[in-house]
Amino acid sequence: MSQPFRLNKEGLINRNKKISFTFNGKKLFGYEGDTIASALIANGIHLVGRSFKYHRPRGFFGAGVEEPNAKLQVEFNGHSEPNVNATEMELVEGLSATSQNCWPSVNFDVGAINNFLKMFFPAGFYYKTFMWPKSFWYKIYEPFIRKAAGLGVASIEKDKERYEHKFEYCDLLVTGSGPSGLASAYAAAKNGAKVILAEDKPRFGGTLLTDDVSIDNLSGKDWAEKIITELKSMPNVTVKNRSQVFGYYDHNMLVMFERVSDHLEKKSKFTPRQRLWYIRAKETILSTGSIERPIVFGNNDTPGIFLSAAAKEYMKVYGVLVGKKPLIFTNNDSAYETALEFKKNNVEPIILDTREEHSSELIDEAKSKGIDIRFSHGVIVANGYKKVKSAKIGKLNKDKNSFEKIETIECDCICVSGFWTPSVHLASQSGNKLKYEEKIDAFIPDKKKQHETSVGAANGSFTLEESLKHGFENGSNLSAKITETKTEISIPNVNEKKYGAHDKFWCMPLPKNENPKRFVDFQNDVSVSDIEIALREGYRSIEHVKRYTTLGMATDQGRTSNLNGLQLVSNIENKIVPEVGHTTFRPPFTPITIGTIVGREVGMEYMPTRKTPMHEWHEKNNAVFVDAGAWKRPRYYKQGNETLFEASKREAKNVRENVGICDVTTLGKIDIKGPDAAEFLNRVYTNAWMKLPVGKARYGLMLREDGIVMDDGTTTRISENHYHMTTTTAQAANILSHLEYYLQIVWPELNVNVVSTTEQWAGAAIAGPKSRDMLSKLYPDLDVSNDALPFMGYREAEFFGVPSRIFRISFSGELAYEINVKSDHGMFMWEKMMEVGKEFGNQPYGTEALSTLRIEMGHVAGPELDGRTIPSDVSLNGLVSKKKDFIGKNSLGREAFNVESRQKIVGLIPIDRKSSIPEGSHIVQDQNAKLPNPKLGHVSSSCWSVENNNPFSLAIMKDGKNMIGKKFFAVSPLKNKSIEVEVISSHYVDPEGKRVRS
Amino acid sequence: MLYIKCPYCGLRAQKEFSYGGDATVKRPNINEEVSSEDWDKFVYMRKSPRGKHVELWQHIAGCRQWIKVQRDTATHEIFQTAKVTEEIR
Ligand SMILES: [Zn+2]
């Protein structure tokens, strides 16, 4: 169980705690504080996956978010997660990781044949190959692509973890705890600002953990620790590690992804796995640092090739060697620090520097330590399939396009550095148009669009001294503006090495007749030749090149590839990089889990559940519920083995024959008060309202300004200046906003107030020929005769001691009443009704029976008032006043609303009197006509008429009533049905409306 | 997510508001004759400016007041908010 590549003492891991895990079934161990990557490298394992397109062997390349290759399927804490970045995921006991995109194994992968057939996989391969024939897509192409080019496998198990959302406000959000971030946070905190400091990694400090520097005579690491400790002790500061700010949105809202417990072996029951923070910051410091970019050369994707800073991080943070015979390939001084670190650990590196021989502080130090440095040199091609074995290196001529000398040297890893790219993602997302900084060959933030300030390496300042200075200054100035307090802080003394100039060199030339793949984008397998093809084929815009080649489109968002891609395009096109421009940076910066995005809004918590006061009774009496918006309504009350069809038929029939009660609490209710209430209603409804007496209800119709029916319902005059409006369940919220709109904006001169009372009242409808008899038992002291309480009458009376409202209104078309009591008395009312109703054969009925009753009466509802119909379309033109003005009136005169052939409401019955007509069926003349078969209308609502004992439907049909008596087909390709139907009146039962008035 | 200053409640998250369209549209007076052209203009014709736009929002999860918001339709910058009875210049 020895770890051949673990150093004896270096690193920040906890060597006292071993953690066992498996990789591709093999049992291994690492230490607390390791990532999967560092633990595998310590064990000498580099081959971790296969590339996306060619299935080439791939190993680790970076040590953090920049990693393009090492995406693993990881099982831990009882769940399986695909595409986990091995360089970020911390090791936990019992974790099991497996390679992705390989079959049957990472060592022997059938798909690697693609690598040898690469002429079939050039740029634009997907576009060219899978375009034709179209019919092949579903059965052949898609399954093939999925199988051959997948990442990991998403679990189909229910995610049992808990995810949370948090909303936070602060004065200053600092994104990254490197030197500039720490300095900013510290200065702002000292000014009394409310600060949030977010660090993506488990450890605070950023480059201070790996750079050989000192601040105020402390090592970088110790200084970072001191600052963090002080920040943590301040009540106005929130310090968060394992938290990445991944998106910058409007009005300075940033979103942060916190990995709360993935690294914990045990956690308490309600600890979330991950947390999403919505942070509204007055000011934001972007101290996101920079990412090293590679130099492109042949077979540069071979396992064992690392970014040089990653190699250093593995040594300094994890005590792990990425190799024992390293080649350092660089165009700048920073890689010398990696070489020196190797040397310090008794490993002899060879440095290949593309620059001509010169001198700098770091070069001199490397020389003095006896490190082999070869100037004007670079790696041409790496040799080795599953691991680097040697490298063909070349001495470059002065033009850097040809070679003076080529030789092969042995090595077991290549650490490459092509200089540094500021992480400008968040700045760009904030709306900042970036500018190209010639000095560093990269983009940096330009003029700010929101309240964001980039500092340190993210702003292109690569020295510690500058980073700290900018950090302290900006943190102090930005916060002082908010807190109006300025605490003087002296900027600490810094000791760091001076870097010389870098070489603007990013891609090794190839010797004649050699053509190894040179990858620009590792994760999406985009090589230099792919980009050349794209340009040859006429793709010029960088956005087009990106889509055609898929450059930078993988989950790593091209962190290590974008700039080299731009360099290549600008070279070929003979443009300078800023002319080529950059592609768009989109959130999230790194992939986040869907669970985090969803948060707690899953299952029952997906939306609130609204229950009526009688809900428990319905539950106890076998109600089967249906969703009506957020409401739960009884659809039917199941008796024995009844089906929905049987139960609803029984319930509806009982209403027609005896009496039934229905929970109508969910109807929207709006209280309207004020001296101008009548005038307001008169403008809102299409019919006349000025003369409605107190104690009377009226059915009303509302239009939108474009003449389309918006809603219907009854409104009752409770007293002189007090009305009670009902709306449909679905439209309740919209109608309230609609009324408020007119009162606040259009007619503020009207003295009227509106307020929703939906939840204040419990409602029950009593419907059926025996409803009056039942009502008289419910109100023994009240005269409920037709004269005393006529149709559309209203009374207030005590219901067994509780105040109640009685409306004589009907949706079922039967003699009916609606009783409202305060919500708290709803259950009392319902139970009393059930008790008293027994002798009249009362049964509760649900929404399905309710629909049946209204459909056979020809009463319109949502399916007819579908946002396309005007009053005359649904036979409600009798409610449209010719005398007065109202909302939408002027639109009713429009030509298209007045043509005779307009689609209008009719009734349909099947010729065989047996076949139910599916809702949504199209009405056609000839069921066998060639497609597209001209559509004459559609079926809006269907039921089984309990009155006539056969199916009946409402339809909206061309020519409307003129079609009565004619025969058509109702076809439903969805249900594979075609039913011959006859057109009849939409009022199938009691067309004169006698029953409601009886 | 926008951050909208309700003139009654102060700065609140966009989640609490619902959008209500162009605030510069004026409904023809009730009970007054209006030409078909003017009516159609009121019902259907809307400018879709790129840049500053005065629009209506309702603070539905707050004070329920309709308010005016002057917003840049391209950048979402909010320049000014006001009660509906107030003018935005
Ligand atoms: Zn408000």
List domains and CATH numbers for chain B: 3-83 (3.30.2270.10)
**Alpha carbon of A583: minimum distance to chain B alpha carbons (Å):** 19
A745 inside domain = yes
Instruction: Kindly report the length of chain B.
Output: 89
Confidence of residue A517 (pLDDT cuts 50, 70, 90): very high
The pLDDT value given to residue A254: 98
| Ligand 1: centre distance to CA A165 (Å) | 24
Mean pLDDT of B5-22: 96
State CA A975 to chain mean position distance: 34
Q: Are residues A298 and A408 in the same domain?
A: yes
Interface of chain B toward chain A, CB-CB under 8 angstroms: 1-3, 13, 18, 20, 27-28, 30-32, 34, 36, 39, 42-44, 56, 58, 60, 64-66, 75-76, 78, 84-85
Q: Cβ of B3 and A737 within 8 Å?
A: no
Mean pLDDT of A21-40: 97
SS3 A758: helix
The pLDDT value given to residue A574: 85
Q: Cβ of A431 and B75 within 8 Å?
A: yes
The pLDDT value given to residue A575: 84
ipTM of the complex: 0.98
Probe site for chain A from B29, B30, B81 (most A CB atoms < 10 A): B30
**Cα angle at A968 between A962 and A974, to 5 degrees?**
125
Cβ–Cβ under 8 Å, residues A566 and A582: yes
State yes or no: pLDDT of A142 exceeds 90: no
SS3 A945: strand
Contacts of A91 (CB under 8 A, 6+ apart): A19, A21, A30, A31, A32, A33, A34, A35, A36, A39
3-class secondary structure per residue, A435-476: EEEHHHCEEECCCCCCCEEECHHHHCCCCHHHHHHHHHHHHH
A439 inside domain = yes
Partner residue facing B2 (CB), from A251, A733, A746: A251
Q: Are residues A282 and A305 in the same domain?
A: no
pLDDT in tens, A329-342: 999 999 999 999 99
Q: Cβ of A891 and B43 within 8 Å?
A: yes
Q: Cβ of B36 and A893 within 8 Å?
A: yes
Q: Are residues A931 and A799 in the same domain?
A: no
Probe site for chain A from B64, B65, B69, B81 (most A CB atoms < 10 A): B64
The pLDDT value given to residue A45: 97
Measured between beta carbons, the chain B residues lying within 8 angstroms of A676 are none
At which residue do the structure tokens 């900013």 appear?
A184
The pLDDT value given to residue A581: 83
Confidence of residue B17 (pLDDT cuts 50, 70, 90): very high
Q: Kindly report which listed range (A120-129, A283-292, A306-315) carries the lowest average pLDDT score.
A: A120-129
Measured between beta carbons, the chain A residues lying within 8 angstroms of B84 are 744-745, 748
pLDDT in tens, A410-453: 999 999 999 999 999 999 999 999 999 999 999 999 999 999 99
Helix axes A826-837, A771-778, angle to 10 degrees: 120
CB atoms within 10 A of CB A830: 24
**Mean pLDDT estimate for chain A:** 93
Which residues, chain by chain, have CB under 5 Å from ion ligand 1?
B 6, 8-9, 59, 62-63
A197 inside domain = yes
Contacts of A975 (CB under 8 A, 6+ apart): A918, A921
Alpha-carbon distance A653 to A769, whole Å? 11
- Burial (0-12, 13-18, 19+ Cβ within 10 Å), A21: buried
Q: Are residues A325 and A344 in the same domain?
A: yes
Helix (DSSP H) and strand (DSSP E) numbers for chain B: 1, 6
Q: Are residues A683 and A832 in the same domain?
A: yes
Partner residue facing B43 (CB), from A683, A706, A884: A706
The pLDDT value given to residue A135: 64
Percent of chain A with pLDDT over 90: 84
pLDDT in tens, A165-184: 999 999 999 999 999 999 99
A603 inside domain = no
State CA A510 to chain mean position distance: 45
Measured between beta carbons, the chain B residues lying within 8 angstroms of A745 are 56, 66, 84
If you count residue pairs, one on A and one on B, with CB atoms under 8 Å apart, how many are there?
56
Measured between beta carbons, the chain B residues lying within 8 angstroms of A884 are 31
Per DSSP, what are the bridge partners of residue A292? Answer: A420
Q: Which domain holds residue A675?
A: 663-845
A884 inside domain = no
**Cα angle at B27 between B22 and B33, to 5 degrees?**
155
pLDDT in tens, A949-998: 999 999 999 999 999 999 999 999 999 999 999 999 999 999 999 999 99
The pLDDT value given to residue A830: 98
A825 inside domain = yes
Per DSSP, what are the bridge partners of residue A821? Answer: A762, A804
Q: Are residues A71 and A173 in the same domain?
A: no
Confidence of residue A554 (pLDDT cuts 50, 70, 90): confident
Counted domains in chain A? 6
A802 in contact with B at a CB cutoff of 8 Å?
no
Q: Kindly report which listed range (A311-320, A556-565, A836-845) carries the lowest average pLDDT score.
A: A556-565
Q: Cβ of A251 and B76 within 8 Å?
A: yes
Mean pLDDT of A593-618: 94
Domain end point (choices A403, A418, A433):
A418
Q: Are residues A479 and A544 in the same domain?
A: no
> Which residue of A lies nearest to B44 if distances are taken between CA atoms?
A706
pLDDT in tens, B38-89: 999 999 999 999 999 999 999 999 999 999 999 999 999 999 999 999 998 7
Confidence of residue A137 (pLDDT cuts 50, 70, 90): low
Confidence of residue A827 (pLDDT cuts 50, 70, 90): very high
| Ligand 1: centre distance to CA A248 (Å) | 26
DSSP state of A211: S
State yes or no: pLDDT of A623 exceeds 80: yes
The pLDDT value given to residue A436: 95
State yes or no: pLDDT of A146 exceeds 60: no
> Which residue of A lies nearest to B20 if distances are taken between CA atoms?
A741
Tokens of B14: 């966009």
pLDDT in tens, A733-750: 999 999 999 999 999 999
Residue A20: CATH number of its domain: 3.10.20.440
Q: Are residues A569 and A465 in the same domain?
A: no
Measured between beta carbons, the chain A residues lying within 8 angstroms of B60 are 733, 737
Measured between beta carbons, the chain B residues lying within 8 angstroms of A431 are 75
Residue A817: CATH number of its domain: 3.30.1360.120
Q: Are residues A698 and A742 in the same domain?
A: yes
A84 inside domain = yes
The pLDDT value given to residue B60: 97
Q: Are residues A836 and A924 in the same domain?
A: no
Percent of chain A with pLDDT over 70: 95
**Alpha carbon of A622: minimum distance to chain B alpha carbons (Å):** 36
SS3 A651: helix
Alpha-carbon distance A260 to B65, whole Å? 39
Alpha-carbon distance A552 to A482, whole Å? 39
Residue A823's region, left for phi above 0, alpha for psi from -120 to 50, else beta, is alpha
State CA A760 to chain mean position distance: 36
pLDDT in tens, A929-938: 998 999 999 9
Probe site for chain B from A166, A679, A885 (most B CB atoms < 10 A): A885
Partner residue facing B2 (CB), from A250, A740, A891: A250
Measured between beta carbons, the chain A residues lying within 8 angstroms of B25 are none
Domain end point (choices A470, A495, A520):
A495
Q: Are residues A298 and A404 in the same domain?
A: yes
Cβ–Cβ under 8 Å, residues A475 and A486: no
Residue A224: CATH number of its domain: 3.50.50.60
Domain end point (choices A370, A388, A418):
A418
DSSP state of A200: S
Q: Cβ of A890 and B1 within 8 Å?
A: no
Alpha-carbon distance A759 to A739, whole Å? 18
Q: Are residues A100 and A39 in the same domain?
A: yes
A657 inside domain = no
| Ligand 1: centre distance to CA A675 (Å) | 26
| Ligand 1: centre distance to CA B68 (Å) | 12
The per-residue b/e assignment along A162-181, b for 16 or more CB within 10 angstroms, e otherwise, is: bbbbeeeebbbbbbbbbbbb
State yes or no: pLDDT of A525 exceeds 90: no
**Alpha carbon of A730: minimum distance to chain B alpha carbons (Å):** 17
